[in-house]
Structure 1
Amino acid sequence: MRSAGGGRRARLAAGSAVGVLTLAAALVATGRLPHGTDDGGDRLAEQAADARWVEGVTPGWMSEQMGLDIPVTARSPRAAYEVTSRFDTGLLTFTLTSKEAKAYLEAHPPEGDWLEPTSAAETDVTPHDFAHFGLPEPETLKDGMRYGVVCPGAAEAALDPHASDLYGSPDESCVSLYAHAYTPTRTRIYLRDHYEPGISPLPTPPSSTPTG
């Protein structure tokens, strides 16, 4: 996927991400389900030895990598980036009012339709990604949940035949988006994307100020 950092995102197996099974229907419907799905438990076992969370990751930096903005009215924006030998995972989350969330989803439409869970929530999903923030994994949520695959730049490419030179194909620029209306008035946005190992440059960890 092409990103602000120079286009190092990989087209990764959908099953490689924890909980990505809830997005399988959307990926199949849009023809974006890559080959080589595997079990989330295997993914965790293989990455346990070399996984690390990068220090100094900010919501602004993660927003740039994903190509999706954070509204100025957003509350509690949080971001993280995990490095492994197989692929990296970028996470971004924030909350909006119901009205703001509606506008945000309209501004960032999915490939296909917004989907809703059609069965019980996936209670067997191993906490890993958004658990880093102390949040439940979006796949385990059912009531008030919508999700889809959002491809930044796809709308511009559809309007401008030369836009593909700037954004690449939609296949290369898609982010998993979950919108959870956790109260009648507020919605939490979850964003997850995957990258080839070694995306560069990574943020520089904040340095401690020497004391006296």
Structure 2
Amino acid sequence: MTVRGKACTALSAVLVSMLLLVSCSGGQAGDTGREGASTHWKEGGGAGEAAAFMKVRVPEGATEVKGAVRVNPREDEYILSFRTDGDTAARVAEDLRSEEPPAPWGVVSAQEPELFGHLGLPEPKTLEDALWAGVCPPCVKDHRRRDVAWMEIYVEDLGAGRARVYLRAF
């Protein structure tokens, strides 16, 4: 093998090792993607900050309004939840401007790190009849949310005309 071939092999090994290191870290708590940064819940980051980032107005009369901000090395995640009537929940979902209407998500076991569990709520992906819609706001020309890369909503029917809305954005 030539010197050049050995150098390419060594470089390839280094690159593969770096890729494995990055992919195995998977964004777990304690990762340091930004200088000195790690995944953690922002102290004082609540429903108001989440709603402001998402450009969502919490409906008047909504109850059990909860929110949080999870600081991540790559991008922060904002979560917001509240209870409201079913018609209002549908309007909030429609305001996301998703190309598809909310549809059943299907039940999955919670394997991702808890988000809504931080608020004392079940993970919406684990709810049997929750409806889901997701959207890339810049992709649908939603200029109000040009700083939001992805936004999703889950709507849980609570019966008696009530619903719980779960919103997540980054």
- TM-score in terms of structure 1 length: 0.56
Taking only the aligned residue pairs, the percentage that are identical comes to 27
Q: Which has the higher helix share?
A: 2
1:113 correspondence with 2:101: yes
* Structure of higher CA gyration radius: 2
Amino acid across the alignment from 1:185: G
Amino acid across the alignment from 1:100: T
1:48 correspondence with 2:29: yes
Amino acid across the alignment from 1:53: W
Q: Is the 8 A contact 1:125 1:137 kept in 2?
A: no
In the TM superposition, 1:53-202 aligns within 5 A as 53-117=41-105, 119=106, 121-126=107-112, 128-143=114-129, 145-150=130-135, 157=141, 168=146, 173-194=149-170
Say how many residue pairs are matched. Answer: 142
Distance 1:187 1:42 in 2: 37
Cα offset, 1:102, TM superposition: 2.9
Q: Say which structure, 1 or 2, has more relative contact order (CA 8 Å, 6+ apart).
A: 1
CA separation of 1:174/1:77 partners in 2, compared to 1, >3 Å: closer, same or farther?
A: same
Aligned-pair RMSD on alpha carbons? Answer: 3.0
Q: Is the 8 A contact 2:138 2:145 kept in 1?
A: yes
CA separation of 1:66/1:106 partners in 2, compared to 1, >3 Å: closer, same or farther?
A: closer
Cα offset, 1:71, TM superposition: 0.8
Distance 1:167 1:99 in 2: 23
Distance 2:72 2:82 in 1: 25
**For structure 1, which runs of at least 5 residues remain unmatched after alignment?**
1-38, 159-163, 195-212
Q: Is the 8 A contact 1:147 1:176 kept in 2?
A: yes
Distance 2:150 2:75 in 1: 16
Q: Which has the higher strand share?
A: 2
